[in-house]
Structure 1
Amino acid sequence: MKIVVNVARFITGVLFIFSGLVKAIDPRGLAYKMQEFFEAFSHEGWMPA
């Protein structure tokens, strides 16, 4: 059981690292996604002009 938990932790860590690297490589794409998120939840004022 301990091995399964460690494997799950490792996979989760790799997933978060990969996600962070993808966002760091494509900041413009992240900005578009954040803009869509803010518009969907009516927070347009949080985006810079």
Structure 2
Amino acid sequence: MTQPAKRQFSVYLPVELIRRVKHASVDADESLSSYVEHALEDHLRRSDSEERP
């Protein structure tokens, strides 16, 4: 199975949030990119299900 194409993009976040996310990715034994990807996917999945009646 092939992996979906990925692209880099920049976001500006508070320094403390960056520090917390980096530590969380290490604790989860995931790369920072993978950790953020999973967090965003989980958030969007929850948001989508809350919008549906």
Which structure: larger Rg? 1
Higher-helix-fraction structure = 1
